[in-house]
Amino acid sequence: MELIKQGLSIVNDPRHTSWICPLVFAADVVLCPLVVKYIPYTEIDWKAYMQQVSQYIGGERDYVKLYGDTGPLVYPAAHVYVYRLLHYLTDEGRDVRLAQYMFIGLYLATLAMVMQCYRQAKAPPYIFPLLILSKRLHSIFLLRLFNDGFAVFFLFLAIYCYQRRLWTAGSLAYSFGLGVKMSLLLALPAVGVVLWQGVGRNRALRQAVLMGQLQILLGYPFLTGNAHNYVVRAFEVTRQFLFKWTVNWRFVGEETFLSSSFSVALLAVHATLLIGFLATRWLRPAGTLPEAFRQLISPPPESVQINVAKRVTPDFTITSILTAILVGCLCARSLHYQFFAYIAWSTPFLLWRSGLHPVLIYAVWAAQEWAWNVYPSTDLSSVVVLQ
């Protein structure tokens, strides 16, 4: 019985993550090079990224003229700068194996950041093995070289900075990640709520201005040429998605998927869920909903703001931001396989915070992992993705 108690303490007590995390991390350090060595690389977007960067290097600054084999450049400017560096380091993209090893570094850096965010929120040790067991996640980083890896790294860097009350550093990290891929807009409602309650209305507004200034700075070379083309292409919100690539809505059928009424319904559900979380979860540090709105209209005395800020804990911060990401993914018009990068490291924590039994957490995780590894997606797999 004593051994059983000791074992339960090890898997449940957050204090044991100080030695369990290094072991889990070390296991992935060994696994990642084996994935690169023995599983074939799959060309999807890397070549197109390099073609687009080559045009940028050649002097093209009109976003609508930046094209690759897979189509136009549809990511913000930070994506261009990141892959410009990779273009230089990998012999203009020809040394794909070197790029894969660089992405091993990116993957491990992101994993380390995720672990630190979990530890700040006192997640139990039994959650951490789920962070390294995903076949699809390794594929996204190491075998496809998608830009989502960079966006996810900066997302969790921002969460960690906010957990440590490094507000400006967190806002810059979040804005840069958004400059890589606009998918991080899904987190913006929760980021705003965390900042508002963590530093007060006026300082939160200054943080928002700082994020906007960074976006202007990143996009400046393209904004001075043709600002409209840059904004429309890099932050295109009216993009038409193809049914054949959807992972999450296969079961509704192509006619429904492409209909405008379906799109409007998803937007309505998304807005309703965000309002629901605002009313019941995200404004708790400020008190009741009416109290929160009074503080928004008229900032409270410093003593009240300090008490509100104390309730913006590391647990509250990561829970709010990851919830916003998952709500956004749930209501997304179409998820492609690389979107699992935002989900894979969010669901273990949120499943734990939901109060599920550990056995059920592992069961739900396994079902999700199976569904995201079905290619092409099926009616059944898309239903499981939405569970």
Q: What are phi and psi of 71, to 5 degrees?
A: 125, -165
Q: Are 46 and 148 in contact (CB under 8 A)?
A: no
Domain assignment of residue 32, given as a range: 19-385
Residue 61 above 80 pLDDT?
A: yes
Q: Any idea what DSSP says for residue 39?
A: S
Give a yes or no: residue 255 inside a domain: yes
Tokens for 314, please give them.
């590391």
When computed from its CA atoms, the radius of gyration of the chain, rounded to whole angstroms, is 21
Q: What would the DSSP string read from start to end of 374-387?
A: -SS--HHHHHHHT-
- pTM, two decimals, is 0.96
**Tokens matching residue 116:** 């630190």
Q: 6-15, 122-131, 191-200, 317-326: lowest mean pLDDT where?
A: 6-15
- From the number of C-beta atoms within 10 Å of its C-beta (0-12, 13-18, 19+), residue 243 rates as middle
- The more confident residue out of 186 and 238 is 186
Q: Say if 198 falls within a structural domain.
A: yes
Residue 3, pLDDT > 80, answer no
Comparison of pLDDT for 322 and 300, the residue scoring more: 322
Who wins on pLDDT, 68 or 7? 68
Number of folded domains in the chain? 1
Please tell me the predicted confidence (pLDDT) of residue 240.
Answer: 66
Q: How confident is the model at residue 386 (pLDDT cuts 50, 70, 90)?
A: confident
Look at residue 154 and tell me if it is in a domain.
yes
Asked whether residue 260 is domain-assigned, the answer is yes
What pLDDT sits at residue 8? Answer: 80
What average pLDDT does range 94-120 have in this prediction?
98
Region class of 253: left (phi > 0), else alpha (psi between -120 and 50), else beta: left
Instruction: Average the pLDDT over 319-337 and give the result.
Output: 94
The reported pLDDT for the residue numbered 187 is: 97
Q: Does residue 14 form part of some domain?
A: no
List, for residues 371-381, the tens digit of each pLDDT value: 999 998 999 99
* Mean pLDDT, all residues of the chain: 94
Contacts of 178 (CB under 8 A, 6+ apart): 76, 151, 184, 185, 211, 215
> What does the chain come to in residues?
387
Q: Which pairs from 268-276 meet CB under 8 Å and 24+ separation?
A: 269/331, 270/327, 270/328, 270/331, 273/327, 273/330, 273/331, 274/189, 274/324, 274/327
pLDDT confidence of residue 319? 98
pLDDT at 162: 98
7 assigned to some structural domain:
no
The pLDDT assigned to 234 comes to 86
- Token pair of 382 as six digits: 């898309």
SS3 state at 283: coil
Please spell the DSSP secondary structure of 68-92, one letter per residue. Answer: ETTEE--S-HHHHHHHHHHHHHTTT
Q: DSSP letter at 299? A: P
What the block records as the tokens of 117 is 């965010």
Distance, first Cα to last Cα, the chain:
37
85-105: average pLDDT? 97
236-292: pLDDT as tens digits: 766 667 788 889 999 999 999 889 999 999 999 999 999 999 999 999 999 888 888
**Rounded Cα gap, residues 103 and 126, in angstroms:** 27
Amino acid 16: pLDDT: 92
Are the CB atoms for 283 and 292 separated by under 8 Å?
Answer: yes
Helix locations, 249-357, DSSP H: 254-258, 260-277, 289-297, 302-310, 314-330, 340-344, 347-353
* Distances 151 to 42, 157, 256, 300, 385 between C-alpha atoms, Å: 20, 10, 31, 35, 21
pLDDT at 387: 75
On the CB side of 294, CA atoms within 13 Å amount to: 10
Query: What Cα–Cα distance (Å) separates residue 143 from each residue in 36, 69, 104, 280?
Result: 7, 18, 10, 41
Instruction: Say if residue 185's pLDDT is above 80.
Output: yes
Tell me the pLDDT tens digit for each residue of 69-79: 988 999 999 99
Cis previous bond, 358, omega within 30: no
Question: Do residues 369 and 313 touch, judged by C-beta distance below 8 A?
Answer: no
Residue 67 pLDDT: 92
Q: Specify the DSSP element, H or E, that contains 67.
A: strand 67-68
Please tell me the predicted confidence (pLDDT) of residue 280. Answer: 92
Report the amino acid identity of residue 293. Answer: F
Flag whether 380 is in a domain.
yes
pLDDT tens digits, one per residue of 196-247: 999 999 999 999 999 999 999 999 999 987 899 999 888 876 666 778 888 9
